[in-house]
Amino acid sequence: MAQLKAGGTFNVAVELLDNHAKLRGDKPAIFCGETTVTYKELEQNVNRFANVLKDLGVKPKDRVMIVAPDSPGSVYAFLGSIKYGAWPAPVNTMLTEDDYEYLLKDSQARLLVTTTDSCASLVKTEAFCEKLFLDKGFDALLKSASEKADPYLVEPDDIAFWLYSSGSTGKPKGTPHKQISMIFTADTYAKTVLDISEDDVCFSVSKMFFAYGLGNSISFPLRFGASTVFLSDRPTPELVLETLLKFRPTVFFGVPTQYNSLLKKMNGENLDFIRICTSAGEALPPEVFRRWKEKTGLEILDGIGSTEALHIFISNRSGDVRPGASGRIVPGYEAKIVNDDNQEVAPGEAGHLVIRGTSVTPGYWNRPEENEKKILPDGWFKTGDVYSQIDGYFTYQGRDDDMLKAGGLWVSPMEIEHTLMEHEAVNECAVVGHGVEGLVKPFAYVVLNEGWSQQSDNQLDRKLLDFLSGKLPKFKRPWGIHFVNELPKTATGKIQRFKLRS
Ligand code: 3UK
């Protein structure tokens, strides 16, 4: 992996901010509730944050973990860290204390930026890791720091920040990204597919800890001098609608579940201020595409991206949407579909999707085995997805592992199974995805221990779900539990989850 070299010429925070602060300093960069942050204020606060890091004794390349709702403060922390040469790592705000303990250890974070109500704040961190609260003393701390800061100049291929990617086995993996990558995703997908310009107002339902949200609400609008809308709270359909009507964004970024729940909530609202809608994270059911178009007159552009690629590399285009397909390659990226021997398959045949492009991670942090598996010769990256392709249009066929996406977020069947197994009633179990209104949701199949039965305790499924509710974040909990006498297995005793899926 590329190492940081000071003495270079590049810092992506400068690329995203300096010109705008000069050319359109008074223009709103961020709308968040009642707060508006102009480009000038954004640049100054990013500088102040860089100076706060310096005062805390943080060094370039130190990790700064951010566990916080989308807010101006979390952007100051993200871009301020980059400007200073430290590596910010925004992570999911919905995890458990144990998860945060793992992430802080894995990244060896030097600083945790969070809020007092986050369970990340409860973690007993390593002696070298300090905590900084965005909702306690932060404004005063920022104000006390200088609004001027020199950027830590490196090379475009040096690391700028990390994200965390989940996998089917094991724990989330630190996924470093290069300085140039936020510019690359903006100049490819955001420019050629979405045509974002300074006239746009972007609103992303996905938060900035998710690569999709990070591009949608930070790098894309800032690259083109547009404005961005943050919703700090949990994006319930009511709040999303309210935010849409209040700020009238021109580009709306969602995930399939959100579109589905918005459709149920909407009641004749006029959304014609929206110019373009996108969907990613999981496949968009054609039915949701059709109903959204019927109700709003707008097409949703489904596209596939990943944490490792940073953003979308295959996408539908305005006026050229194939419902049920992910669309065509985004210029700047390459994709091919290969068999188990890495040979390209014939058109229409399913195989592993591999991709290549500047924004693909140089490799996971400290994971030589995973890197070996996913990073192929000549810079090709194995996505873990099964796809087919005809005439350049790619269609998603499923994962090549057991991972599920629910509401656009990863759910590892194994993690749920291991947690369920901690209950005394459970002998063994398997978790698989079942379709609910065209979207995949996790369901558990449970074999009970002797002495337990659903007949003698008709509340047992409820009790198991309650048990999980103390241990897993909500988005990872099964939607239902089926009690079975045995699970389908291979001769070697591996659970055949695919047999439960049908
Ligand atoms: C799946 C899709 C079908 C697919 C992401 C846009 O989702 C993002 O990143 P993740 O690392 O997950 C990546 C995996 O999710 N997937 C994503 N989009 C689609 N499957 N159709 C889709 N449209 O399995 C992929 O490998 O969480 C999405 C931008 C940035 C992102 N990080």
DSSP 297-324: S--EEEEEE-TTT-SEEEE-BTTB--TT
Contact between 311 and 278 under an 8 Å Cβ cutoff? The reply is no
Model-level pTM greater than 0.85? yes
pLDDT band (50, 70, 90) for residue 418: confident
3-state helix, strand, coil in the chain (%, to 5): 30, 25, 40
Query: If you ran DSSP here, which 8-state letter would residue 170 be given?
Result: S
Q: State pLDDT tens for residues 207-256.
A: 999 999 999 999 999 999 999 999 999 999 999 999 999 999 999 999 99
Q: How many whole angstroms separate alpha carbon 427 and alpha carbon 420?
A: 9
Same domain, 99 and 236: no
Ligand 1 pocket, 315 CB below 6 A?
Answer: no
For residues 235 and 205, give the distance between their C-alpha atoms in angstroms, rounded to a whole number: 7
- Give me the domain span that covers residue 206: 198-334+379-400
One domain, residues 396 and 256: yes
Residue 353 CA: nearest ligand 1 atom is: 26
CATH number, domain of 316, equals 3.40.50.12780
Q: Ligand 1 pocket, 312 CB below 6 A?
A: yes
| CA 117–ligand 1 middle distance (angstroms) | 29
Q: Is 402 in the pocket of ligand 1 (CB under 6 A)?
A: no
pLDDT in tens, 338-391: 998 999 999 998 899 999 999 999 999 999 999 999 999 999 999 999 999 999
Q: Is 164 in the pocket of ligand 1 (CB under 6 A)?
A: no
Does 327 sit in the ligand 1 pocket, CB within 6 Å?
no
Is 280 near ligand 1, meaning CB less than 6 Å away? yes
Residue that is last in its domain, among 369, 400, 431? 400
Binding site membership of 281 for ligand 1 (Cβ less than 6 Å)? yes
Phi, psi of 356 (to 5 degrees): -145, 145
Atom of ligand 1 nearest to the CA of 165: 11
Q: What CATH number does the domain containing 471 carry?
A: 3.30.300.30
- In this structure, the answer to whether residues 314 and 426 fall within a common structural domain is no
- Does some domain include residue 67? yes
Question: What share of the chain in percent tops pLDDT 90?
Answer: 84
Decide if pLDDT at 492 tops 70: no
Residue 142 resides in a domain = yes
Do 148 and 216 belong together in one domain? no
d(CA 502, CA 493): 20
Domain shared by 329 and 452, yes or no: no
Shared domain check, 241 and 208:
yes
Region of residue 156 (phi > 0: left; psi between -120 and 50: alpha; otherwise: beta): alpha
| Residues 414, 415, 421, 426, CA torsion sign | negative
The b-or-e profile of 204-220 (16+ CB within 10 A means b, else e) is bbbbbbbbbbbbbbbbb
How many domains does the chain divide into? 3
β-strand pairing of 393-399 with 404-406: unpaired
Cβ neighbours around 390 below 10 Å, total: 11
Least Cα distance to 360 among 85, 2, 18, 8 occurs for 2
Instruction: Give the ligand 1 atom nearest the CA of 210.
Output: 32
- For residue 244, being part of any structural domain is answered with yes
The CATH number of the domain where 83 resides is what?
Answer: 3.40.50.980
More confident residue, 496 or 31: 31
According to DSSP, the β-strands at 63-67 and 87-90 are parallel
At what angle are helices 237-247 and 256-265 packed, to 10 degrees? 80
> And the tokens for 450?
């002797």
For the Cβ of 306 lying below 6 angstroms from any atom of ligand 1, the answer is yes
Q: How many Å lie between the centroid of ligand 1 and the Cα of residue 171?
A: 18
Distance CA 320, CA 391 (A): 13
Q: Could you tell me if 72 and 32 are in contact, meaning their C-beta atoms sit under 8 angstroms apart?
A: yes
Instruction: For residue 355, give the nearest of 122, 195, 189, 486 by alpha carbon.
Output: 189
pLDDT digits 0-9 by tens, 423-482: 999 988 999 999 898 888 999 999 999 999 988 888 999 999 999 998 999 989 999 999
Please indicate, yes or no, whether residues 411 and 300 belong to a single structural domain of this protein.
no
Same domain, 206 and 172: no
* Contacts for 342 with CB less than 8 Å, ≥ 6 apart: 376
| CB 50 near ligand 1, within 6 Å | no
- Asked whether the predicted pLDDT for residue 99 surpasses 50, the reply is yes
| Minimum CA distance residue for ligand 1 atom 8 | 306
Q: How confident is the model at residue 172 (pLDDT cuts 50, 70, 90)?
A: very high
CA dist 259 and 289 (Å) reads 9
159 lines ligand 1 (CB under 6 A): no
User: Which of 182, 212, 255, 306 best tests ligand 1's pocket when mutated (most atoms within 8 Å of CB)?
Assistant: 306
Highest mean pLDDT among 41-45, 168-172, 416-420: 41-45
* Alpha helices per DSSP H over 166-285: 181-185, 211-214, 220-224, 237-247, 256-265
Q: How confident is the model over 267-295, as a mean pLDDT? A: 95
CA of 70 to the centre of ligand 1 (A): 20
If you take atom 10 of ligand 1, which residue's CA is the nearest one? Answer: 306
Does residue 3 sit in the same domain as residue 140? yes
* Same structural domain, 271 and 173: no
Q: How far is the CA of 304 from the centre of ligand 1 (A)?
A: 5
Buried b (16+ CB within 10 A) or exposed e, 454-491: eeeeeebbeebbebbeebbbebbbbeebbbeeebeeee
Amino acid at 349: E
Tokens of 159: 């690391």
* Residue 280 within a domain: yes
Domain boundary among 179, 212, 238: 179
Would you state the pLDDT for residue 252?
Answer: 98
Mean residue pLDDT of the chain comes to 94
For ligand 1, the distance from its centroid to the CA atom of residue 47, given in whole angstroms, is 33
Cβ of 405 below 6 Å from ligand 1: yes
Ligand 1 nearest atom to the CA of residue 410, by list position: 27
Q: Is 286 helix (H, G, I), strand (E, B) or coil?
A: helix
The conformation of residue 65, written as its DSSP 8-state character, comes to E
Q: How many residues does the chain have?
A: 502
Q: Which atom of ligand 1 is nearest the CA belonging to 308?
A: 11
Per DSSP, the residues of 339-378 read: -TTSPBPPTT--EEEEEE-TTS-S--TT-HHHHHHHB-GG
Residue 384 near ligand 1, beta carbon < 6 Å: yes
Distance 408 CA to ligand 1 centre (A): 8
Whether residues 234 and 314 fall in one domain: yes
The alpha carbon of 406 and the centre of ligand 1 are apart by a number of angstroms equal to 11
Q: Which residues touch 480 (CB under 8 Å, ≥6 apart)?
A: 443, 444, 461
- Whether residue 283 has its Cβ less than 6 Å from ligand 1: yes
- In DSSP terms, which residues pair with 396 in a beta bridge? 387
Protein residue closest via CA to atom 2 of ligand 1: 282
Q: Does the residue 192 lie in any domain? A: no
Mutate which of 185, 205, 218, 304 for ligand 1 pocket (most atoms within 8 A of beta carbon): 304
In a domain, 350, yes or no: no
Residues 125 and 167 in one domain: yes
SS3 for 187? helix
491: pLDDT strictly greater than 80: no
12 within 8 A of 82, measured Cβ to Cβ: yes
**DSSP-H helix ranges across 421-459:** none
Is the CB of 189 within 6 Å of ligand 1?
Answer: no
Is 231 inside a domain boundary?
yes
Write the burial class of residue 45 (CB in 10 Å: 0-12 exposed, 13-18 middle, 19+ buried): buried
Distance 188 CA to ligand 1 centre (A): 17
CA geometry: angle at 358 spanning 357 and 364, to 5°? 95
Alpha-helical (H) ranges within 108-188 are: 138-143, 181-185
In a domain, 349, yes or no: no
